[in-house]
Amino acid sequence: MANSINRRNWIKSSALMAGGLALASGTINKLAAMPLVKKIIPAGKRVTDQSAILEAPAVMKARLLANENPFGPSAAAKKAITDSLDLSYQYAFMQMSVLSGKIAAFEGIHQNNIMMDAGSSALLLASAMHFSKGGKDIITGDPSYDDLPTHAKLHGGNWVKVPLTSEYKLDLDAMEAKVTDNTGLVYICNPNNPTATVVDTDKLKAFCERVSKKTMVFVDEAYIDYLPDPQGTTLIGGVKAGQNIIVARTFSKLYGFAGLRCGYIVAQPDTIHALSIYTGGAFNLSATTLAAATAAYQETDYMKDAAKKMVASKEYLYSVLKKEGYEYIPSSANFVMFPLKMDGNKFVGEMMKRGVGVRNWKLNGADWCRVSIGRMDEMEAFADAFKQLS
């Protein structure tokens, strides 16, 4: 019918009402034409939280391998999910606009500075695809969270790894020294994963101000809610100042949304527009997740309580490691990394036999373990298993 609503155009306009959260004009057609991920990383070639979980037994005494928050989501988030079911037959574009508006108001930014997706993974992938084009360099710490650079490499980019400092922190000076005309992006995970270390805030802000004049800087703040002063630490102020940076946030950690999937980036509107062609945006977020995230966002009492429980479990872990004669890296997040006294793969396998899932890394040629912080009963299960091997 001539006067009928064009569904495709309606979807576009509804998505754009969310302030750049979804697809810019023409994106639907571009999405249809864009290539899929070039190839899947062969099994066994790259250990990730996902592969570790899939290979683990269905039932574990302690699931301490994916940096999840076992205390969430909050009661308000759960209620919002239930309440949203009656209208979940509707597209959730307006609910996404409500959530992005809530984030914008809290951070003092515009909605067109925000793009949302189902967790930050899709946004990391979009950035990897865009900023690696033409064989560009992606600079990261080593080790650091490798999702973005791994996918950049799959799409023809060059991964430049910079060793950490003696304090196991990102070496900002060394990373800056690696920037060339061929650099597509510098990736900063702060607090860093897997070391749970955090860099000096003033130094990072100065770094972003300088380096963003040469290339894009991506600051992944997945774990920032665990810091004492997230608002004083975030680099979102750099976006407000007009800097060429991307700041990523996720509900997967302190909010307990790892399975619900909700994340977003904050960047300049032209960056949002450039990355929007690589994501499904509005279609990737469910009505139930958006309702839960809207209810949970900056839910202060819940966040404080979950963080307090995490700290108690972490302090218990510290005491266990000390008692068994192990050093560890002081943690600014919900996981702890410590050096092992046996082969890392063997340690992980032996712990799994005892019902405890953990991760292992190679750092400076040595074997290390990363333990996610769980409930106290899970930390006690870790302690029981660990004492049998230590």
Q: Rounded CA gap, 80 and 289, in Å?
A: 9
Residue 322, amino acid: K
Q: What pLDDT is stored for residue 348 in this prediction?
A: 96
Q: What pLDDT is stored for residue 19 in this prediction?
A: 42
- pLDDT (mean) for 277-283: 87
Q: Rounded CA gap, 319 and 30, in Å?
A: 54
Q: Rounded CA gap, 249 and 262, in Å?
A: 9
Name 15's Cβ contacts closer than 8 Å, sequence gap at least 6: 21, 22, 23, 93, 281, 282
| pLDDT digit string, tens, across residues 151-191 | 999 999 999 999 999 999 999 999 999 999 999 999 999 99
Q: What pLDDT is stored for residue 356 in this prediction?
A: 97
Report the percent of the chain where pLDDT is more than 90. Answer: 83
pLDDT-derived band at 56, boundaries 50, 70, 90:
low
Q: Rounded CA gap, 292 and 278, in Å?
A: 25
Q: What pLDDT is stored for residue 283 in this prediction?
A: 85
CB burial of 199-233 (b: ≥16 within 10 Å; e: otherwise) equals beeeebbebbbebbeebbbbbbbbbbbbbeebeeb
- pLDDT (mean) for 250-266: 97
Q: What pLDDT is stored for residue 280 in this prediction?
A: 86
Hey, what domains does the chain have and what are their CATH numbers?
A: 49-71+300-389 (3.90.1150.10), 75-296 (3.40.640.10)
Decide if pLDDT at 49 tops 90.
no
Q: Rounded CA gap, 122 and 278, in Å?
A: 9
Name 255's Cβ contacts closer than 8 Å, sequence gap at least 6: 69, 72, 73, 74, 77, 225, 293, 296, 297, 303
| pLDDT digit string, tens, across residues 126-148 | 999 999 999 999 999 999 999 99
> What tokens does 380 get?
């006690």
- pLDDT (mean) for 276-282: 88
> What tokens does 142 get?
């080593």
Decide if pLDDT at 21 tops 80.
no
Give CA torsion, residues 268, 270, 275, 279, to 10 deg: 90
Decide if pLDDT at 7 tops 60.
no
Task: Give the chain's end-to-end CA distance (angstroms, integer).
Answer: 74
pTM score of the predicted model? 0.87
DSSP-assigned beta bridge partners for residue 368: 339, 361
